[in-house]
Amino acid sequence: MKLNLNRPLAFFDLETTGVNVGSDRIVEIAILKAMPDGTEIIKTLRINPEMPIPLASSLIHGIYDKDIADQPTFKAVAQEFSDFIGDADLAGYNSNRFDIPVLLEEFLRAGVDFDMTDRRFVDVQNIFHQMEQRTLRAAYKFYCNKDIVNAHSAEADITATYHVLLAQIERYQDADFEDKQGNLSKPVQNDVDALHAFTNMNKPVDFAGRMVFNEEGEECFNFGKHKGKTVEQVFNIEPSYYAWMKQGDFPLYTKKKLTEIWERWNKKKDQLKSEKQQSAQNPSNTSGQRPTPKVNNPGFKPQPKNEKPPVDVTNDMLEQLKMKFGK
């Protein structure tokens, strides 16, 4: 099938250092330019983002710092890509929410005026989500081939949910699933532990997703300027962030989990402070030398460190002095 086009349509995809539109950078850009005559032109280039690529991102797209060390910066090729896209409309998968905003940020940083006036945008993900709706009614029809009677009543909805799960287990029990790292597994099993693991892959701390567990089981922020940093690490460098979140418009459960981490962090800090104080009051002798014994003689005066102890004057010493001074 050939697209009916009256001007080019540029399908493009970005690999980036992360998912923060304002601060993350492009590490690879690929554009497929579909022309009105049915021909296709593809342009792909890796980009030096001028910042380290987080390991979590590299594990997803397979691009590491060493792979882009000698590649051009986006600023160096921005005009080239702007000219290649030309007056084409833009298309992608989740492009309206991510790829287009990131691309525009990069053009602005590079000082290239990429005109968006009169361009049209086609987001393939939106077509998918709207035509294959992810509602309970759609799931019940897809898996059970039935319509919900009295939809949106609690009892009807929960009964439908139960039967959808049974149908999912039956359909996917032997189906392979490939994760972002390319690992294959059969995660949908008739086992609650397995279902729990598969449906909580993001490991949220607070269910709102503001904090998630990293691979080491540490709570990390999942938004904003501290995204990817552990919560305790942020408390160490910016403890006022806790107060800002407590006063902010965040879910109560998020604040509850944040307070638990704050109290644990303070307890660790107090314990460390106490240990330092005890160490200062009872310093351990690590020099290997025996401590100087205390003397109870009130007339005893300690010998200054830089002075030699007194010696008895001998006749030889007196004779030497006479010869030196002629007396």
**pLDDT at site 156:** 86
**pLDDT at site 317:** 64
Q: Mean pLDDT, to the nearest integer, of 218-240?
A: 94
Rg for the chain, CA atoms, rounded: 35
**pLDDT at site 293:** 53
- Residue 299 reports pLDDT greater than 60: no
- 51-66 confidence digits (pLDDT tens): 999 998 998 899 999 9
Higher pLDDT, 9 or 208: 9
- 63-74 confidence digits (pLDDT tens): 999 999 999 999
Q: How far is CA 326 from the centre of its chain?
A: 87
**pLDDT at site 284:** 61
- The first and second tokens of residue 248, run together, are 């902010």
**pLDDT at site 180:** 75
DSSP code at position 226: G
**pLDDT at site 141:** 93
Q: From the CB of residue 169, how many other CB atoms can be counted at a distance below 10 Å?
A: 15
- The first and second tokens of residue 8, run together, are 């080019």
Domains and CATH numbers, the chain: 9-128 (3.30.420.10), 136-200 (no CATH), 211-265 (no CATH)
3-state secondary structure (DSSP) of residue 271? helix
The answer to whether the beta carbons of residues 220 and 229 sit under 8 Å apart is yes
Name the most confidently modeled range: 72-76, 297-301, 307-311: 72-76
**pLDDT at site 196:** 82
Strands (E), the chain: 9-16, 26-34, 40-46, 89-92, 121-123, 177-178, 184-185, 211-213, 219-221
Instruction: Tell me how far apart the alpha carbons of residues 315 and 115 are, in angstroms, rounded to a whole number.
Output: 105
Q: How far is CA 54 from the centre of its chain?
A: 7
Q: Mean pLDDT, to the nearest integer, of 140-164?
A: 87
Q: Mean pLDDT, to the nearest integer, of 259-271?
A: 94
- Residue 289 reports pLDDT greater than 70: no
Secondary element (H or E) of residue 247 = helix 240-247
- The first and second tokens of residue 202, run together, are 């993001």
